[in-house]
Structure 1
């Protein structure tokens, strides 16, 4: 069994995370993808794919972008296209940056709790002793 790592090496195509994990982490993952600067939808999808989130379809990505915009975590603006139609660029707001930091802290706490469960001796109901 492969041991999990904190992050796939940059530039690699990691195995996709389980779909339930992707759904649970999609909002903070999108916020994190924007931490380095504005991106359009395809750029966000590519950044997520590069970090194990698989190939997201527009039907998964754009509704979440809409919710993040409504929450004030990102802003969106139309930018002219280089060789075609314009595109919508998304940018992290200060509130989005704070939400991302909070989410990362909470996910770390969850990971610590999972690790602690395996390291903590537990009492069995029948035995009443540590196993």
Structure 2
């Protein structure tokens, strides 16, 4: 089952940074890895990925460089920076807090508001 696009939009930056924390990747590779690692739950389009990468690059969270592939084609690779790793840590904390709160509500164990 594919996730609702609105659910993914709030976590897209976290997912991209998480992928790049393991290795440098080019765009299509990130799209394929995201889909494979999520058992086809997440299918990110290029039109979603590249604006995220460009914003992260502008903010200094990722760098890019070009490298020739074995086929001779030049690809643009993205590399997470120290700033990007700090941002990833913050995004993970946000996600943990958010998902715990959602799970608490779904389980019926959230504290009642006064």
Gapped regions of structure 2 (runs ≥ 5): none
> Residue by residue, what CA displacement relative to the aligned partner does 1:32-53 show, whole Å, maximum 9, x if unpaired?
0011110111111112112231
- For residues 85 and 48 of structure 2, the distance between their equivalents in structure 1, rounded to whole angstroms, comes to 22
Q: Is 1:53 equivalent to 2:42 in the alignment?
A: yes
Give the drift of 1:71. Answer: 0.8
Number of residue pairs aligned between Structure 1 and Structure 2 = 109
> Relative to structure 2, which stretch is displaced further, 66-75 or 79-88?
79-88
Report if aligned partners of 2:21, 2:85 keep a CA contact under 8 Å in 1: yes
Cα 1:120–1:89, aligned 2, differ >3 Å: closer, same or farther? closer
Aligned residue in 1 for 2:96: 108
Give the drift of 1:123. Answer: 6.8
Q: CA RMSD in A?
A: 1.7
Cα 1:73–1:119, aligned 2, differ >3 Å: closer, same or farther? same
Give the drift of 1:57. Answer: 2.2
Q: 1:30 aligns with which of 16, 19, 39?
A: 16
Bigger relative CO (Cα 8 Å, ≥ 6 apart): 2
With structure 2 as the length reference, what TM-score do the two structures score? 0.86
Q: Is 1:81 equivalent to 2:69 in the alignment?
A: yes
Aligned residue in 1 for 2:60: 72
Larger radius of gyration: 1
Report if aligned partners of 2:61, 2:83 keep a CA contact under 8 Å in 1: yes
With structure 1 as the length reference, what TM-score do the two structures score? 0.75
Relative to total residues, which structure has the larger helix share, 1 or 2? 2
